[in-house]
Amino acid sequence: MLKKIITQELSDADFVEGLKNRSSLLLEKLYKLHFPMVLQFIIQNSGNEQDAKDIYQESIIVLYNKIQEGSFELNSKLKTYIYSVARRLWLKKLNSKYRKTTVIRDFEENIPLEDDLGKLVEKEEHFKILQGALEKLGQPCKALLEDFYMDGLSMEDLSEKFGYTNAENAKNQKYKCLLRLKKIFFIDYSKENKPSV
């Protein structure tokens, strides 16, 4: 594998294998390899560099998660898959912005995507709501929860970092913050999921 990386002879299957093993080296190579294609697509379809970055990263994340889940099958070129995902995401964004069916100028072959792509996209929405709720939470709760749940800090570490007298204290604070976050999250969540009028 290393020889392949050095001599740049990586195939699509190599990339999928690498991503399954969470290789950041292969992820980096993949990322840089296909970005120009998506950049061209977005620019030529009324987008800018920032749009290209956002859509491309979302597409790569979709691919990555699908591989991690184990439900990714390499039926066509990786390039084509990434293009198709990016295309769908961008079309969705355009349609929500301009509210009329947009005509897309294609540069690559476009393949139909499985329906569980919708599941992953839905998860993205949940993340957005969560992020919003975390922002509303403010400090120190945001940092406290992020450290515990996302960075896996222990109660002792937290009490040290945030200056609580002991671990039990930290635990209490954590729960207060968690309850508040949950409350905010579920309010926003039910707002988003109300059927549109």
Binding site for other proteins (CB under 8 A): 24, 27-28, 31-32, 35-36, 39-40, 43-44, 49, 53, 57, 60-61, 64, 106-108, 123, 126-127, 130-131, 145-146, 149-151, 171-172, 175, 178-179, 182, 185
- Tokens for 74? 């390499």
Q: How far is the CB of 36 from other proteins (least distance, A)?
A: 5
Q: Based on CB atoms, which residue is closest to other proteins, 64 or 162?
A: 64
Q: How far is the CB of 197 from other proteins (least distance, A)?
A: 27
The answer to whether 97 and 137 are in contact (CB under 8 A) is no
**Residue 134, class by beta-carbon neighbours within 10 Å (0-12 exposed, 13-18 middle, 19+ buried)?**
middle
Q: How far is the CB of 173 from other proteins (least distance, A)?
A: 11
- Tokens for 22? 């969470």
Determine the Cα–Cα distance for residues 182 and 185; give it in Å rounded to an integer: 5
Q: Based on CB atoms, which residue is closest to other proteins, 53 or 93?
A: 53
Q: Based on CB atoms, which residue is closest to other proteins, 27 or 113?
A: 27
Amino acid at 39: L
Q: Based on CB atoms, which residue is closest to other proteins, 37 or 113?
A: 37
**Residue 98, class by beta-carbon neighbours within 10 Å (0-12 exposed, 13-18 middle, 19+ buried)?**
exposed
Amino acid at 9: E
**Residue 93, class by beta-carbon neighbours within 10 Å (0-12 exposed, 13-18 middle, 19+ buried)?**
middle
Q: Based on CB atoms, which residue is closest to other proteins, 113 or 178?
A: 178
- Tokens for 167? 């671990």
Q: Based on CB atoms, which residue is closest to other proteins, 88 or 148?
A: 148
Determine the Cα–Cα distance for residues 112 and 139; give it in Å rounded to an integer: 44
Q: How far is the CB of 70 from other proteins (least distance, A)?
A: 16
Q: How far is the CB of 172 from other proteins (least distance, A)?
A: 7
Q: How far is the CB of 99 from other proteins (least distance, A)?
A: 26
